[in-house]
């Protein structure tokens, strides 16, 4: 067992203005053991991937990071050209001096066959690529592994296998926003709070329970200090006014009305005023102490602001119906979907689940294409002979309610280009409302001036979610909306859907998200 010691770490990227640096970390210090299974938690843009790159020595920084551990990083970078090569050819580039027999020993633990190592890497599914890379990653003992979001784009079966595999290992930092994965795998957490960093034993749920108690205590203490400050301020103001009034009586008096006073009374009044002013200073000192104790109480508070959505109400109860629907691509021979039957009624949240490649996204594309054609129930009766729709051929019944407005989130973010202002114009959105929702999703104002190509994947996803929330619709179709989205924003979105109950058709592999929100699950 070794330790990684971080001392007075300061690092920043060059900002939008000349010679200005935005600090991601400032005088950060903590220690972790290399035997720990460490979950790394924080909002999008807080610096999780940046910190992993600092461990790898990719950036210059101030302060010190000391450790005898050898670091390795997942996912390995694969270029377009390298997709034509096999994993057996690539693994030496990924992990120099790797021993292939050790990789093969890891493969059965991930339930994959060794023949995948000899196929072109580009022909493997996302799940197969992830498993092969993990097998290479863990093929050498005593490395401390930096694992960055391994379950994005994976179906439930692949997620479960990766989860079980990681639970049997040790010596890694796992960056993930999947609460189920963090709870199952981790024995410690490293948390990037809003203004501090903390290391704590336990998993995500135990940390979150402690944080809620801590936040509740901080709110109560803050309230107590505010009341005490208010009382002290009122008393100090009152005493100050008395002292001033008393001081004003020192000089000049009416000998007829104030026959008990003489010139010698001035010294008595002065002493009394001095005593009152001393009391005022004591009150001010106590106020300063209360304010000092109050400072920092709410700095790390996670206030997930409630979001809003504007669902439309349709006059038909059933918005989507599939009956004995089969779908195949024109350039393929086999059906992607066969004999599928289900319906989506108003107010339902229907989750599509199944292995990667089972047709979830294809079904969504078919629904969107049909809706683009403006066809409602009138022309969507039986497709028994078959109907061509773009590059797809459908048989059976696919019917949509007439004049249906759909808000769609694509799992692909590559189309996001230019500034947020450009995006708002293209999508016909109110820019000020878009920026307000992005702030509520904790996107920094500094990002608003940047091109979206510079955004992280999580920040791009937030742009898509904010755009969808601003679009009044009868049906919200979201295809893997939570990939790369931080856990705090996931909770915000959960509360939003619970409150407004929009009609939704969702593909999402986050177990907690589905368990909390699904009114129906359709397994393909």
Q: What is the pLDDT of residues 452-476, one digit of tens each?
A: 998 888 899 999 999 999 999 999 9
Rounded Cα distance between 348 and 505, Å, is: 8
Q: What share of the chain is helix, strand, coil (3-state, %, to 5)?
A: 40, 25, 35
Average pLDDT over residues 480-496: 89
**Segment 6-26 mean pLDDT:** 71
pLDDT at 381 > cutoff 50: no
pLDDT (mean) for 37-53: 88
Per the prediction, the chain carries an average pLDDT of 84
Q: Residue 421's closest CA among 429, 413, 410?
A: 429
- pLDDT-derived band at 383, boundaries 50, 70, 90: very low
- CA torsion, ordered 99, 101, 107, 108, to nearest 10 deg: -150
In three-state secondary structure terms, 74 is strand
What value does the mean pLDDT take over residues 189-199? 84
Segment 142-187, tens digit of pLDDT: 889 999 999 887 888 888 999 999 999 999 999 999 999 999 999 9
Sequence-distant (6+) residues with CB within 8 A of 260 are none
Mean pLDDT of 28-41: 92
Predicted local confidence at residue 267, as pLDDT: 65
**Cα–Cα separations (whole angstroms), residue 96 to 70, 118, 147, 315:** 12, 18, 18, 63
**DSSP string of 136-177, one letter each residue:** HHTSSTTEEEEEE-TTTT--HHHHHHHHHHHHT--SEEEE--
Find the mean pLDDT for residues 382-407.
81
On the question of pLDDT at 376 being above 80, the answer is no
More confident site: 281 or 358: 358
Cα dihedral 150/156/162/163 (nearest 10): 100
CA geometry: angle 459, 465, 467, nearest 5 deg? 105
**Angle at 125 (CA atoms; ends 119, 127), nearest 5 degrees:** 115
**High-pLDDT (> 70) share of the chain, %:** 83
What is the CATH number assigned to the segment(s) 3-208? 3.40.50.300
Count of Cβ atoms closer than 10 Å to residue 426 Cβ: 12
pLDDT at 153: 78
133: left (phi over 0), alpha (psi -120 to 50) or beta: alpha
pLDDT of residue 17: 42
DSSP 6-44: EEEEEEEEE-SSTT-EEEEEEEEEEEEETTSEEEEEE-T
Per-residue pLDDT tens for 46-91? 888 889 999 999 999 999 999 888 999 999 999 999 999 999 999 9
Domain 3-208 and domain 318-523, same fold? Reply is: yes
Which CATH superfamily does the domain covering 318-523 fall into? P-loop containing nucleotide triphosphate hydrolases (3.40.50.300)
* Residue of 337, 402, 388, 382 whose CA lies nearest to 364: 337
CA 228 and chain centroid, separation: 37
**Rounded to 5°, angle at Cα 382 from 381 and 388:** 100
How many C-beta atoms surround the C-beta of residue 303 within 10 A? 12
The whole-number pLDDT of residue 281 equals 75
Question: Tens digit of pLDDT for each residue in 253-296?
Answer: 555 555 555 555 666 666 766 777 777 677 677 767 766 666 55
pLDDT band for position 306 (50/70/90)? low
CB 144 within 8 A of CB 172: yes
Of 334 and 478, the one with more pLDDT: 478
Residue, of 505 and 441, whose pLDDT is higher = 505
Q: Which residue has the higher pLDDT, 414 or 228?
A: 414
Structure confidence at residue 412 (pLDDT): 83
Q: Specify whether the CB–CB gap between 326 and 340 falls below 8 A.
A: yes
Helix (H) or strand (E) holding 375: none
Which residues make beta-bridge pairs with 33?
3
What are the residue ranges spanned by the domains of the chain? 3-208, 211-294, 318-523
Question: What pLDDT is stored for residue 377 in this prediction?
Answer: 45
Confidence band for 300, pLDDT divided at 50, 70 and 90: low
Q: Cα(483)–Cα(465) distance, rounded to whole angstroms?
A: 11
């Amino acid at each position: 067992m070794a330790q990684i010691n971080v001392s007075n770490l300061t690092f920043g990227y060059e900002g939008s203005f000349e010679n200005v640096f935005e600090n991601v970390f400032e005088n950060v210090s903590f220690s972790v053991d290399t035997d720990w299974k460490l979950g790394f938690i924080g909002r999008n843009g807080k610096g999780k991937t940046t910190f992993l790159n600092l461990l790898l020595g990719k950036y210059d920084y101030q302060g010190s990071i000391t450790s005898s551990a050898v670091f390795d990083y997942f996912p390995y970078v694969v270029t377009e050209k390298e997709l034509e090569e096999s994993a057996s050819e690539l693994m030496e580039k990924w992990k120099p001096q790797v021993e292939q027999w050790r990789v093969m020993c890891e493969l059965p633990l991930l339930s994959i066959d060794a023949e995948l190592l000899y196929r072109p890497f580009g022909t493997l599914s996302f799940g197969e690529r992830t498993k092969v890379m993990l097998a290479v990653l863990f093929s050498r003992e005593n490395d401390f592994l930096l694992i960055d979001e391994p379950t994005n784009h994976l179906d439930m079966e692949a997620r479960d296998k990766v989860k079980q595999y990681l639970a049997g290992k040790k010596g890694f930092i796992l960056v993930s926003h999947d609460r189920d994965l963090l709870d199952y795998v981790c024995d410690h957490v490293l948390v990037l709070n809003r203004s501090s960093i903390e290391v704590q034993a336990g998993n995500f749920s135990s940390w979150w329970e402690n944080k809620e108690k801590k936040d509740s205590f901080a709110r109560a203490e803050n309230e107590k200090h505010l009341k005490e400050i208010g009382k002290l301020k009122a008393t100090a103001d009152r005493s100050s006014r008395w002292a001033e009034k008393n001081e004003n009586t020192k000089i000049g008096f009416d000998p007829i009305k104030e026959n008990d006073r003489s010139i010698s009374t001035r010294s008595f009044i002065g002493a009394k005023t001095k005593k009152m002013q001393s009391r005022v200073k004591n009150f001010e000192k106590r106020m300063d102490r209360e304010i000092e104790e109050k400072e920092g109480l709410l700095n790390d508070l996670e206030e997930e602001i409630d979001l809003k959505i504007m669902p439309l109400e349709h006059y038909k109860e059933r918005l989507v119906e599939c009956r004995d629907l089969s779908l195949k691509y024109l350039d393929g021979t086999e059906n992607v979907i066969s004999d599928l039957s289900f319906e989506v009624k108003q107010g339902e949240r229907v989750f599509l689940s199944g292995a990667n490649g089972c047709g979830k996204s294809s079904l969504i594309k078919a629904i969107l294409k049909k809706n683009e054609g403006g066809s409602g129930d009138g022309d969507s009766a039986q497709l028994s002979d078959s109907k061509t729709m773009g590059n797809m051929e459908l048989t059976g019944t696919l019917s949509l309610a007439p004049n249906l407005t759909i808000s769609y989130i694509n799992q692909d973010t590559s189309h996001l280009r230019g500034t947020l202002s450009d995006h708002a114009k293209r999508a016909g959105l109110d820019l000020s409302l878009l920026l307000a929702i992005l702030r509520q999703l904790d996107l920094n104002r500094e990002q608003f001036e940047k091109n979206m190509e510079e955004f992280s994947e999580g920040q791009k996803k937030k742009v898509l979610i904010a755009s969808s929330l601003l679009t009044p619709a009868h049906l919200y179709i979201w295809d893997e909306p939570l990939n790369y989205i931080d856990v705090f924003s996931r909770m915000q979105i959960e509360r939003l859907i619970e409150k407004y109950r929009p009609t939704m058709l969702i593909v999402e592999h986050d177990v907690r998200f589905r368990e909390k929100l699904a009114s129906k699950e359709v397994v393909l």
